[in-house]
Amino acid sequence: MSQFPDIREYMALPRVNALRLSPDGTRLVSVVQSLNPDGKSYGAALWEIPQDPGGEPRRLTRSAKGEAGAEFAPDGTLFFVSRRPDETAKESGGDTAALWLLPERGEPVRVATRPGGIGGVRAAGGAVVYTSEVLPGDAATEEERRKAREEAGVSAILHEGYPVRYWDHDLGPAETRLFAGRAVREGLEDVRDLTPAPGGALNEHLSFDLTPDGRTVVATWRVPLPNGDVRWDLVAIDVADGSRRTLATSEGHDFAGPVTVSPDGRRVACVRERHGAEETQVALDLWVIDLATGEGRAVAREIFPASVAWAPSSRELFFAADHRGRRPVFRVGTEVGTEVGTEGEPTRLTSDDGAYAELCPAPDGSVYALRGAIDSPPRPVRIAADGSVTTLPSPVPPLDLPGTLTEVTATAEDGTEIRGWLVVPAEATAEDPAPFLLWIHGGPLSSWNDWSWRWNPWLMARHGYAVLLPDPCLSTGYGQDMIKRGWGDWGPVTHADLMAITDECLKRPEIDEQRTAAMGGSFGGYMANWVAGHTDRFRAIVTHASLWNLDQFAGTTDGANYWQREFGALGSARYARLSPHRWLGEIRTPMLVIHGDKDYRVPIGEGLRLWWDLQRSGVESKFLYFPDENHWVLKPGNAIAWYETVLAFLAQHVLGEGWTRPPSLS
């Protein structure tokens, strides 16, 4: 057996989540998540990453509350956000996140607090801009009003618009606002509220940046539309007086993050997303806007970017985008006639199987980034101008994988190539083939192209399973035609694609075609439910955070307006035709239902209804319920219980072993 960690050891591995480069290119800092001493939660710390492959990472901060949101100022000052106590302050500031400054030498200094805590931060031109959650009304009286609500026992929220919640938390009564201050040696002074009455325009999805002179904030801005719909514009806010002007707006489009201003302060890059409709799929373009005139244009079309960053010259952009099961780095000229290509013609910079994120262009022409892959956790790297990649020292230890990774393809009914990744345990042979797991990704606009800490196929390989990670229709990185194939037709076309590539993999002698199971979460859970009602070829099906009754889901999810664009008004024929619950009577396969009560994207009603339908129909099933988890399962103990329960369920039905209650649930 490989030395790949067991479930509990795996949960304790450190995880690199972010990367920031100082403006002069001399310092590289990351945010690293690790298991807290109590083993019940994760914390984060700032680490210095050496730019020499022979160096050693160095931890910069230590606190029980952890740190996040690292951002460099032009002079190299490092800001971060933390709930750590301030031993030097007369007032503790409570248990809310505050803004801290970490000098290159010395101890952290708290520089700003707010009753509702502090979120994102940007610094430039002597200005520091940050976000905070503030009760509507005068920000100066907020602390008193918060205390009054608490003492009166009021938790109610009065809504007058949509939406009302997001992923795993309620929206309101506080709203996100932007604050700006002037940076001085001791911290911040002249702090002012730039958005005193945003009306929820900055809630969720917020992405913002600060011009190099510190005079203008560029931010996404939510605009309410009739009948509960919304649109996202891009606005410019004057740091001196808070005046706001609309930079980009378009009926039928959202202007979304990542928002990033060019180093010369002349332009801003963002993503323009076309709204989907019943017969028109969404499409994303990399959009560049002139800050003076508001004129905008696409420099890369129909891409799904994970990271966007300007080159120091301001003449080109680097971006990482999904592409055929990878996420390579591209660069594109932002002015016609540049040496790296003309407008709309990106050049691929990296050629390996990596999935890149957190791009940090350096003054010397290189790009620092995090590189992950299906077979590698994200690690810091340096990408040279010629595309060569140098791996840098990381707080994450190297892992000995318990198997092999192979790219696989199949041909769909309409002739489209369907590709995916196949993980096969090292010990699998034709004489002793491995049982097979089909893992269906969520989204549905997504791709298996990166390491996953939550759904990790190598943990399953360690227990002897081969895992197929396919990209069927609706997967990103294959052009708009791949999305169009399944748009508004989720179940039938996606099911056919999944079965085609499953059939191809089961021809391999090292895989057991008889001992098979299917799993999926979110949209993947929807497809797991669809598979259960349309074939009995699998011995077990695991469905996590899954859509079951589409009409019910579409009216209770946190973003009902988004799904209505694709499926039409509630009660229309498309909901009925594509809802998995209509095939309940055809389900013969044992099912494990998993759902978290704090999941607002796919509300708990979906899991409860599915569980009851299976019970009343006599389908052999189990229900793993998490009262305090959201769409994902994030707490270490609960994640262990998730894996142990899934493995026990598969052992019973796929391997033919007796049912053994998971140790974590005993």
Q: How far apart are the first and last CA of the chain?
A: 26
Cis omega (within 30 of 0) for bond into 509: no
Q: Secondary structure of 348-414 in the HEC alphabet?
A: ECCCCCCEEEEEEECCCCCEEEEEEECCEEEEEEEECCCCCEEECCCCCCCCCCCEEEEEEEEECCC
DSSP 658: P
**pLDDT (average), residues 117-145:** 93
Integer Cα distance of 12 and 525 in angstroms: 27
Tokens of 42: 């994760």
pLDDT score at 87: 73
Integer Cα distance of 461 and 405 in angstroms: 11
Helix (H, G, I), strand (E, B) or coil at 219: strand
Tell me: pLDDT of 528 over 90: yes
Tell me: pLDDT of 79 over 80: yes
Tell me: pLDDT of 186 over 90: no
pTM reported for the whole predicted model? 0.95
pLDDT score at 105: 80
Superfamily of domain 403-665: Alpha/Beta hydrolase fold, catalytic domain (3.40.50.1820)
Question: By C-alpha distance, which of 386, 449, 456 is closest to 419?
Answer: 449
- Torsion, Cα 542 546 552 553, to 10 degrees, reads 180
Question: By C-alpha distance, which of 128, 290, 134 is closest to 208?
Answer: 128
Q: What is the CA radius of gyration of the chain?
A: 25
Q: H-helix or E-strand containing 459?
A: helix 457-462
Q: Render pLDDT for 631-662 as a digit per residue (tens, 0 to 9).
A: 999 999 999 999 999 999 999 999 999 999 99
- Tell me the C-alpha to C-alpha distance, in Å, between residue 37 and each of 12, 16, 40, 58, 95: 10, 18, 8, 19, 19
pLDDT score at 93: 53
Computed over every residue of the chain, the mean pLDDT equals 94
DSSP string of 18-85? Answer: EEEE-TTS--EEEEEEEE-TTSSSEEEEEEEPPSSTTS--EE----SS-EEEEEE-TTS-EEEEE---
Tell me: pLDDT of 481 over 70: yes
Integer Cα distance of 634 and 43 in angstroms: 12
Integer Cα distance of 26 and 155 in angstroms: 48
Q: Is the dihedral of CA 308, 310, 315, 320 positive or negative?
A: negative
pLDDT score at 94: 61
pLDDT score at 604: 98
Question: Residue 275: which residues within 8 A CB-CB, separation 6 or more?
Answer: 231, 252, 253, 254, 282, 565
- List, in sequence order, every residue forming a beta bridge with 622; answer none if it has no partner: 592
Domain boundaries, the chain: 403-665
pLDDT score at 345: 84
Question: By C-alpha distance, which of 491, 575, 496 is closest to 527?
Answer: 491
Q: Render pLDDT for 249-298 as a digit per residue (tens, 0 to 9).
A: 999 999 999 999 999 999 999 999 999 999 999 999 999 999 999 999 99
Question: By C-alpha distance, which of 485, 474, 592, 467 is closest to 529?
Answer: 592
Tell me: pLDDT of 81 over 80: yes
Q: Render pLDDT for 548-576 as a digit per residue (tens, 0 to 9).
A: 999 999 999 999 999 999 999 998 999 99
pLDDT score at 68: 92
pLDDT score at 1: 44
